[in-house]
């Protein structure tokens, strides 16, 4: 079993509620030897103080709109042999960190990435991909359960997502961490390309899973509609300058323009954007590309060369007794009250709340420290399953517990 200490790094800006929720999920990890490093602004620091986190974790003050610089500051403060990254608008499954870091038992492994579930908590937002020198991604065939090891090829890297990845700290320091020229977007993709030039394999770990909510930020609304495309344009230009032959730049930028215009038109047709917003945002994109063509690359790595503060292990982690609470939609108040009580007593709680309908299922993490799945008794959870299934309450509950069992302990049932 993997025993090297791990540093979980979370960057948060202007999202104190999401940060508190993320950390509530991190605290439920069954891994027993990790610290948490939070790089955050004054609002995040105040939220950490309110929720009693200040003595339990390392807090790095940073209020800049640059995720790469923030992550580098987190790495500088990290004392673990492995640095794991998760976004503040994501929540990990309780087995996430153990599974994500287990492949590092193999000394050939330099990095690892897991699967990401999207806003409904069930469908996958991200599985596994490769990325080429222009930033174009293609699916990588992997299994649904077993980890697999992958080597980079010339001009192509194994893609990991910044909201669910881990890298050996000494490797991060050797390659200079994240490039602050990527203030938002493609920051981890650039890291993947540079890791490809470093000896080592990347592990894809399907059962190391996080739920990514995609909260509002300075660059997008909570419904994923962009408010600015400037940094997407700038980061794409920086990425091309660093990794692609100049002869490929024009084709890649044309593909970016087509992709973003289609994205904006979809939002416009759906009523999320006004027609006048499309040309404004496209101008934003073009100006970003121009800025990225002249943006300085790289940064000083002096901070990464300094010894970090001592390791600060997060207390009270490790395996927890599972507790399943199940009932009907009209029993909501009772179920939530019992879930809060059980979570407060140290259990790992999952609530199933069914309605006598065929509504799709959703999974969410409650800030009170427990999971809640809602949906129709006859509705589908996994989106590729049949639209309607005829079943009874006990059978449906058993089926959903079996679906979750690889990710989360679910063997104690309370009705």
CATH number for the domain spanning 95: value is 3.90.550.10
213-253 tens-digit pLDDT: 877 788 888 888 999 999 999 999 999 999 999 999 999 99
Please check the confidence at residue 89 and state whether its pLDDT lies above 80: yes
Regarding whether 121 and 209 lie in a shared domain, the answer is: yes
Q: Is residue 139 part of a domain?
A: yes
Task: State the pLDDT at residue 415.
Answer: 45
Q: Is residue 102 part of a domain?
A: yes
Task: State the pLDDT at residue 410.
Answer: 85
Regarding whether 234 and 192 lie in a shared domain, the answer is: no
Q: Which of the four pLDDT bands, split at 50, 70 and 90, describes residue 300?
A: low
Q: Is residue 357 part of a domain?
A: yes
Look up the domain containing 370 and give its range: 322-414
Please check the confidence at residue 135 and state whether its pLDDT lies above 50: yes
User: Which residues is 126 bridged to in the sheet?
Assistant: 116
Q: Which of the four pLDDT bands, split at 50, 70 and 90, describes residue 158?
A: very high
Regarding whether 399 and 332 lie in a shared domain, the answer is: yes
Regarding whether 239 and 121 lie in a shared domain, the answer is: no
Q: Is residue 75 part of a domain?
A: yes
| 152-169 mean pLDDT | 95
Instruction: Report whether 109 contacts 166 (CB < 8 A).
Output: no
Regarding whether 369 and 342 lie in a shared domain, the answer is: yes
| 197-213 mean pLDDT | 94
Number of structural domains found in the chain? 3
Task: State the pLDDT at residue 153.
Answer: 86
Beta strands in 152-242 (DSSP E): 156-159, 165-168, 201-212
- The residue from 245, 274, 292 where one domain ends is 292
Regarding whether 126 and 164 lie in a shared domain, the answer is: yes
- The residue from 181, 215, 249 where one domain ends is 215
Q: Is residue 257 part of a domain?
A: yes
Can you tell me the distance from the alpha carbon of 235 to that of 293, in angstroms, rounded to the nearest whole number?
A: 9
Instruction: Report whether 48 contacts 18 (CB < 8 A).
Output: no
Regarding whether 174 and 271 lie in a shared domain, the answer is: no
Please check the confidence at residue 42 and state whether its pLDDT lies above 90: yes
Regarding whether 235 and 211 lie in a shared domain, the answer is: no
Regarding whether 132 and 40 lie in a shared domain, the answer is: yes
Q: Is residue 309 part of a domain?
A: no
Task: State the pLDDT at residue 317.
Answer: 96
Q: Is residue 305 part of a domain?
A: no
| 379-383 mean pLDDT | 89
Task: State the pLDDT at residue 61.
Answer: 97
Regarding whether 338 and 235 lie in a shared domain, the answer is: no
Q: Is residue 303 part of a domain?
A: no
Please check the confidence at residue 414 and state whether its pLDDT lies above 50: no
User: Which residues fall within 8 angstroms of residue 300, CB to CB, at 6 or more apart?
Assistant: none
Regarding whether 140 and 104 lie in a shared domain, the answer is: yes
How many C-beta neighbours within 10 Å does residue 301 have? 15
Instruction: Report whether 171 contacts 198 (CB < 8 A).
Output: yes
Regarding whether 203 and 162 lie in a shared domain, the answer is: yes
Task: State the pLDDT at residue 147.
Answer: 97
| 29-39 mean pLDDT | 97
| 250-268 mean pLDDT | 97
- The residue from 215, 240, 255 where one domain ends is 215
H helices within 270-360, ranges in order?
277-292, 302-305, 332-344
| 162-187 mean pLDDT | 96
User: Which residues fall within 8 angstroms of residue 253, CB to CB, at 6 or more apart?
Assistant: 236, 237, 240, 289
């Amino acid at each position: 079993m993997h025993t090297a200490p791990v540093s979980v790094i979370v960057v948060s800006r202007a999202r104190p509620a999401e940060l508190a929720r993320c950390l509530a999920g991190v605290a439920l990890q069954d891994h027993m030897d990790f610290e948490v490093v939070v790089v955050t602004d004054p609002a995040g620091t105040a939220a950490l103080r309110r929720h009693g986190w200040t003595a339990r974790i390392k807090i790095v003050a940073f209020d800049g709109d640059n995720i790469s610089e923030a992550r580098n500051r987190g790495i500088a403060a990290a004392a673990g042999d492995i640095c794991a990254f998760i976004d503040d608008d994501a929540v990990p499954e309780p087995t996430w960190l153990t599974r994500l870091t287990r492949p590092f038992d193999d000394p050939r492994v330099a990095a690892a990435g897991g699967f990401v579930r999207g806003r409904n908590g069930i469908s996958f937002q991200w599985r596994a991909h490769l990325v080429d020198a222009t930033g174009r991604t293609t699916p990588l065939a992997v299994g649904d359960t077993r980890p697999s090891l992958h080597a980079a090829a010339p001009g192509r890297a194994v893609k990991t997502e910044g909201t669910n990845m881990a890298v050996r700290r000494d490797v991060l320091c050797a390659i200079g961490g994240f490039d602050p020229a990527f203030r938002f977007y493609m920051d981890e993709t650039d890291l993947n390309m540079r890791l490809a030039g470093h000896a080592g394999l990347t592990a894809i770990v399907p059962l190391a899973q996080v739920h990514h909510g995609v909260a509002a930020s300075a660059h997008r609304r909570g419904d994923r509609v962009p408010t600015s495309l400037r940094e997407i344009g700038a980061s794409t230009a920086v990425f091309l300058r660093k990794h692609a032959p100049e002869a490929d730049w024009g084709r890649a930028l044309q593909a970016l323009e087509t992709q973003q215009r289609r994205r904006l038109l979809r939002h416009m047709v759906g009523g999320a954007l006004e027609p006048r917003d499309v040309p404004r945002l496209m101008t934003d994109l073009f100006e970003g590309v121009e800025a990225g063509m002249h943006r300085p690359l790289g940064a000083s790595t002096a901070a990464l060369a300094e010894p970090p503060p001592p390791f600060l292990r997060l207390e009270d982690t490790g395996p927890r007794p599972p507790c399943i609470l199940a009932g009907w939609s009209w029993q909501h108040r009772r179920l939530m009250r019992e879930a809060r009580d059980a979570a407060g007593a140290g259990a790992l709680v999952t609530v199933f709340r069914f309605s006598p309908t065929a509504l799709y299922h959703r999974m969410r993490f409650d800030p009170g420290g427990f999971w809640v799945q809602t949906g129709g008794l006859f509705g589908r959870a996994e989106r590729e399953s049949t639209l309607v299934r005829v079943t009874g309450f006990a059978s449906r509950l058993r089926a959903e517990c079996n679906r979750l069992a690889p990710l989360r302990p679910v063997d104690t049932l309370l009705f």
